[in-house]
Structure 1
């Protein structure tokens, strides 16, 4: 309730300027409809009041005792507020894509199979990709493997389980060239983005970077600088992690440290969702019109404003 109140605003506030105009029109209408307007300048007000017939309030319902001009003012005010567009809720734009692809750039050189740790960086990467595939079920997920060259393993697909299965089969043994061609992987991701004719978020999963950050930044800029994150697979205090931090900084992205739980995966997914929701001309969300809720109130006011006309025969009988 508090969030709704804080989000409440008027979409077209200029229409509220019609409210004082409606008060002026109601006052003019009321004066023109007064049957005693001409007599008030000719007869003393007390005498005119004594000569004027008034319906007894007992013969009327409460809504019939409300002056017509009051009904007009209330109805016009409610209608103007409805047209102005009160809102407090956001709805998804039907023309916006539900979810943009997340393309994984997985490093697969010899250093990713280092046995210095309990689990190799490549095994850690495979497990995290499997978790990511489960979390993003139904949302496009793509995979690129790189070492000294870069190759598309799978273009973005909604069958994320296939991406996890393919990632588990990647190893340095199947890579044709040794090295660290992260810039080529980013260029390859750009081709996938152009093929899908839409935006995407990139995720680099690596243990270290041995490539010039300026070279990587140039490749990233050449494909339109899509949002990018780096998932580092080694301990925070290592020099290898520092090299990935330098890459993330040069790309204007963020580095996500590896965690034993799914905090890192949630951070990646939330980042991709935020970028997706703001990626289509910055208008993937819009405020939902709520003025139509005033329609039943206006209908009820119109119904209650009807009055049965009194005939001269009824007046004489009374």
Structure 2
């Protein structure tokens, strides 16, 4: 840390010369011997000039010099630590690979290992609001459930639908799950983390997983207990092992420790409270901060801490006989004739020390997004605060004030929330015109175009009424049924019913995984 110490604006240190000049000039002015030495003989001067009894005390010019020196240090921007840019935590991607092998139905953790893993995913999402998360499901094969998205509600919906029965290939292949997670992270610009939620690593993948953890940030969330428990089946019974006995799954703690030491993989064990979730989230943030510090981070300005001693020393100026007495009058004048009403006295005080954008940033960090939106003058920050406050229509207007790729990208996001899909597509295309190589904009454009296509398809289906009356109805005059024109009404009704039946997310995932497994796509 000492090696990193430097000043962001070192030229302000020249102001310290002014403080030194004030001390030198004031000391010469108050030195009576120095003022009379050219007019009185030295042997008489000592007897004619008496020492000042107040010599050595703190005088106003001392205070002024100290204030100037401290202000110069503060303006120079001392720093020794990096900080993350705004919204950087929101961009930290996380890929959660959830084990759906048979042993995840063990009930040593109630109601089961898999169900408790789902609850932990909910807690992780709650601890990372607006962050991007992807879901991978794996057993003997690995499949993408959801790509990176900041829609936490969508992630929860699909996570809740996961079950061991939907996996097309039995077993546990951790290596292929990590490969799928790594591929998912390739589209993210920010450094990401892979979270494995499993009850163990298969022996065939152990070496590959260890090597993978050496070059990537992998966190293994171990679900289960060392004592183990029986594995339930979908029919309500219990699974059997190869010998015909009841399958009893145990968490191999020693193997996890060996993996942690061999592969530089962080291992978190399940706890009944949320301490394990806090540890995982902190590990994700720490990794992201370390990686971001090597790239686009900036140095944190610690100069503002010096404003505290500056204010305390400046308070001494109100003593009788010290410096400017009109400072108190100026302060009172501001309070009395401030354009704010009396009920906004606190705000007028804030206006004395903070700009509107600084006040907006403080409100934003407190999570008071409506107040932040009211305070911000910067269009981009104003739009972001409105977006977080759920005022998407107003956010579009704020972002529209700037013709930058970020402004168009943010407009597209807000327009999606307003279901103005065509306009969202146009906004993403404009963002990509201004910044061609932007993976997030390309991904969101693809999503918006798919939604537009689905919307058009639904409109076309609604226009085609399945209950249209026939143009002409003819009856067999002899009461005979025509063989070629015979229609089974019951079969037709059943077919329409089957087409209109709703399919659950679990069934959709099961079909998707089965198709991918048959095609060799994982």
Name the CA shift for 1:185/1:27 in 2 (closer, same or farther; >3 Å). same
For 1:122 and 1:251, the matched residues in 2 are separated by 25
Q: CA RMSD in A?
A: 4.4
Name the CA shift for 1:192/1:212 in 2 (closer, same or farther; >3 Å). closer
For 1:299 and 1:123, the matched residues in 2 are separated by 61
State whether residues 277 and 285 of structure 1, in contact with CA within 8 Å, keep that contact through their aligned partners in structure 2.
no
How far apart are 1:208 and its partner, in Å? 1.9
Tell me the equivalent position of 2:138.
146
Tell me the equivalent position of 2:39.
39
For 2:46 and 2:121, the matched residues in 1 are separated by 90
For 1:231 and 1:19, the matched residues in 2 are separated by 55
Determine if the alignment matches structure 1 residue 256 to structure 2 residue 249: no
Determine if the alignment matches structure 1 residue 83 to structure 2 residue 75: no
For 1:276 and 1:120, the matched residues in 2 are separated by 32
Query: 1:1-318 to 2 correspondence within 5 Å?
Result: 26-27=23-24, 30-31=27-28, 35-41=35-41, 44-45=44-45, 49=49, 70-85=59-74, 93-94=84-85, 97-99=88-90, 100-114=92-106, 119-210=111-202, 211-221=204-214, 224-226=215-217, 228-237=218-227, 238=250, 240-281=252-293, 286-290=300-304, 291-292=306-307, 294=310, 305=323
How far apart are 1:232 and its partner, in Å? 1.4
For 1:120 and 1:190, the matched residues in 2 are separated by 28
How far apart are 1:37 and its partner, in Å? 3.6
Name the CA shift for 1:37/1:138 in 2 (closer, same or farther; >3 Å). same
Name the CA shift for 1:263/1:296 in 2 (closer, same or farther; >3 Å). closer
For 1:261 and 1:117, the matched residues in 2 are separated by 13
State whether residues 140 and 158 of structure 1, in contact with CA within 8 Å, keep that contact through their aligned partners in structure 2.
yes
Larger helix fraction of residues:
2
Per mean C-alpha deviation after superposition, the further-off stretch among 36-45 and 249-258 is: 36-45
Higher RCO, 1 vs 2 (CA within 8 Å, ≥6 residues apart): 1
How far apart are 1:19 and its partner, in Å? 7.4
For 1:114 and 1:305, the matched residues in 2 are separated by 78
For 2:106 and 2:316, the matched residues in 1 are separated by 76
Give the SS at the match of 1:44.
Answer: helix
Per mean C-alpha deviation after superposition, the further-off stretch among 163-172 and 116-125 is: 116-125
Name the CA shift for 1:284/1:124 in 2 (closer, same or farther; >3 Å). farther
State whether residues 142 and 157 of structure 1, in contact with CA within 8 Å, keep that contact through their aligned partners in structure 2.
yes
Name the CA shift for 1:23/1:295 in 2 (closer, same or farther; >3 Å). same
State whether residues 94 and 132 of structure 2, in contact with CA within 8 Å, keep that contact through their aligned partners in structure 1.
yes
For 2:84 and 2:190, the matched residues in 1 are separated by 16
**1:34-90 per-position Cα deviation (integer Å, ceiling 9, x unaligned):** 54241133682278559xxxxxxxxxxxxxx999x95444322322233224989x9
For 2:46 and 2:259, the matched residues in 1 are separated by 91
For 1:76 and 1:125, the matched residues in 2 are separated by 62
For 1:306 and 1:256, the matched residues in 2 are separated by 61
For 1:205 and 1:305, the matched residues in 2 are separated by 67
State whether residues 234 and 241 of structure 1, in contact with CA within 8 Å, keep that contact through their aligned partners in structure 2.
no
State whether residues 23 and 65 of structure 2, in contact with CA within 8 Å, keep that contact through their aligned partners in structure 1.
no
Give the SS at the match of 2:89.
Answer: coil
Give the SS at the match of 1:137.
Answer: coil
How far apart are 1:280 and its partner, in Å? 0.9
Name the CA shift for 1:284/1:98 in 2 (closer, same or farther; >3 Å). farther
Tell me the equivalent position of 2:410.
none
State whether residues 98 and 138 of structure 2, in contact with CA within 8 Å, keep that contact through their aligned partners in structure 1.
yes
**1:69-126 per-position Cα deviation (integer Å, ceiling 9, x unaligned):** 95444322322233224989x9954357124223211111223234677633222222
Name the CA shift for 1:79/1:93 in 2 (closer, same or farther; >3 Å). farther
Larger strand fraction of residues:
1
Per mean C-alpha deviation after superposition, the further-off stretch among 106-115 and 162-171 is: 106-115
State whether residues 209 and 240 of structure 1, in contact with CA within 8 Å, keep that contact through their aligned partners in structure 2.
no
Unpaired segments ≥5 residues, structure 1:
1-9, 51-64, 308-318
Give the SS at the match of 1:256.
Answer: strand
Give the SS at the match of 2:88.
Answer: coil
For 1:87 and 1:284, the matched residues in 2 are separated by 13
State whether residues 236 and 257 of structure 1, in contact with CA within 8 Å, keep that contact through their aligned partners in structure 2.
no
Unpaired segments ≥5 residues, structure 2:
228-249, 326-522
